[in-house]
Amino acid sequence: MAEMSISVATKKFRDHCISELSGRMSSKGWIKIDGSRLCLTCAKKRRRTLYAMVSESSPVFLKCFRASCDLKRFATQDDFHMLGFNDNEAISVLMNNGNRLNISSYSNDSRPIIIEDRIPSEAQRAYFKSRTKLDLTPDNIFKYRIIPNIYQVMKDNFDEDDELHQKFRSMNINDDKLAITFATDDYGTVSYRHTQKSQKVIFNLNDNSNTGYVLERHDDESSVKTLVLCEGIFDLINIHKYFAVIDEAKYIATLGFQSFFHDIIHHYKQHIDSVERLIIFLDSDKELPYGKRTYDKVAVDNLMRRLSYEIGEDAFKVISFVYNSVSKDFGDLSTPIEPKIVEYKK
């Protein structure tokens, strides 16, 4: 009799998590399960915060994301049985999975996020289309990490966190799907923008430092040669799609001018052996005569001095600024856009 494959064993346990442990799929392979049989803290709480990483690429990993709980380990045979999974052949295959990943990949503090509602409203579709000329397809929702209903996500994931919920309630965000929310790649920070009124909110879902909203255009992490930065996420989507289609590049929205310095340093150090070029798309905050606009040269000169002091004048071979000379930025394709390039360092 042929030995059970990893894919079959993984499916058996994943199905068990969903059918028997009230499992709910979340980001990057995690399943939120009823872990009250394993986690003594969970057993005493209204909300369950035990997650199982169920993947063919590694043995099953268990982690409770409650701050007061230290359950964090690859699943043992006893764990499987206590969770009510008694298929010994599948357990043997799962525990002997040779594709054991580094435990640090699973043991960080970025809580996996459950997003059950991924269907945008008509208001969200129209708003996204007006800003980017792109349809809000399922692929684009996944690609740009869009959360149609952040209110429901907070309810599903964080209702046991009274402090975070108190902060969330103070932001006056409603359960109405009249806003678009973007998540950073670790789902640790979200950026909320209302489609019908001037309401923009950025807030953290964990204690990790925010290093920007990132898109990429490269296959090899070691081959990043260009860092492209801007402030807003809609700016970044349009720049990535239309204005700076560059191979071997990483695109970062800093979510504010004050974060440029921190984010440039962070991403430069990540790719210090390969990166050669820095391109910054700047908001055109200064109004000029005849309907023209420009960027804040004083603020940018100060940024360049700080970068030179921190990482050296030779960190980048080429530094370029790009600004929109006829409107505020690059984040709304329904407004005029005339890019102007300033070669700071050739």
Answer yes or no: are the C-beta atoms of 76 and 62 closer than 8 Å: no
Helices 88-95 & 6-20 angle (0-180, nearest 10): 120
Q: DSSP E strands: which ranges in the chain?
A: 24-25, 30-33, 50-55, 58-64, 72-74, 146-147, 179-183, 189-194, 200-204, 213-217, 226-230, 249-253, 277-282, 286-287, 293-294, 318-324, 339-345
Answer yes or no: are the C-beta atoms of 248 and 227 closer than 8 Å: no
**Collapsed DSSP state (helix, strand, coil) of residue 307:** helix
Identify the pLDDT of residue 112: 82
Residue in this structure with the two tokens 């699943």, named with its chain if needed: 75
What is the CB-side half-sphere exposure of residue 87 using CA atoms within 13 A? 15
Identify the pLDDT of residue 169: 87
In one-letter notation, the amino acid at residue 226 is T
The model carries a pTM of: 0.84
28: left (phi over 0), alpha (psi -120 to 50) or beta: left
Distance separating alpha carbons of residues 80 and 86, to the nearest angstrom: 7
Answer yes or no: are the C-beta atoms of 224 and 319 closer than 8 Å: no
Identify the pLDDT of residue 322: 98
Kindly tell me if the per-residue pLDDT of 104 is higher than 60.
Answer: no
Identify the pLDDT of residue 44: 61
Identify the pLDDT of residue 186: 83
More confident residue, 277 or 1: 277
Distance separating alpha carbons of residues 237 and 242, to the nearest angstrom: 8
Cα–Cα distances (Å) from 205 to 64, 72, 187, 208, in that order, read: 16, 20, 8, 9
- What's the whole-number mean pLDDT along residues 159-177? 85
pLDDT band at 213 (very low <50, low <70, confident <90, very high): very high
Burial grade of 215 (CB within 10 A; 0-12, 13-18, 19 or more): buried
14-18, 54-58, 115-119: which is most confident: 14-18
- Give percent of the chain with pLDDT exceeding 90: 66
Answer yes or no: are the C-beta atoms of 83 and 14 closer than 8 Å: no
* Number of residues that make up the chain: 346
What tens digit of pLDDT does each residue of 227-241 get?
999 999 999 999 999
Token pair, residue 133, equals: 């000329």
Token pair, residue 54, equals: 């169920």
Kindly tell me if the per-residue pLDDT of 6 is higher than 80.
Answer: yes
pLDDT band at 100 (very low <50, low <70, confident <90, very high): low
In one-letter notation, the amino acid at residue 271 is H
> Pick from 167, 140, 168, 137: which is nearest to 152 by CA?
168
Give rounded-to-5 percent helix, strand, coil for the chain: 35, 25, 45
Identify the pLDDT of residue 328: 95
Residue in this structure with the two tokens 């799609």, named with its chain if needed: 241
Kindly tell me if the per-residue pLDDT of 346 is higher than 80.
Answer: no
What tens digit of pLDDT does each residue of 36-93 get?
888 766 666 656 678 998 988 888 999 887 777 788 889 999 999 999 999 999 999 9
In one-letter notation, the amino acid at residue 4 is M
- Give percent of the chain with pLDDT exceeding 70: 91
Give domain limits for the chain.
6-105, 122-204, 213-345
In one-letter notation, the amino acid at residue 180 is I
Answer yes or no: are the C-beta atoms of 336 and 327 closer than 8 Å: yes
Average pLDDT, the chain: 89
What tens digit of pLDDT does each residue of 283-341 get?
999 999 999 999 999 999 999 999 999 999 999 999 999 999 999 999 999 999 999 99
Identify the pLDDT of residue 96: 86
Fold of the domain built from segment(s) 213-345: Dna Topoisomerase Vi A Subunit; Chain: A, domain 2 (3.40.1360)
DSSP letter, residue 101: -
Residues 115, 121, 123, 125, CA torsion sign: positive
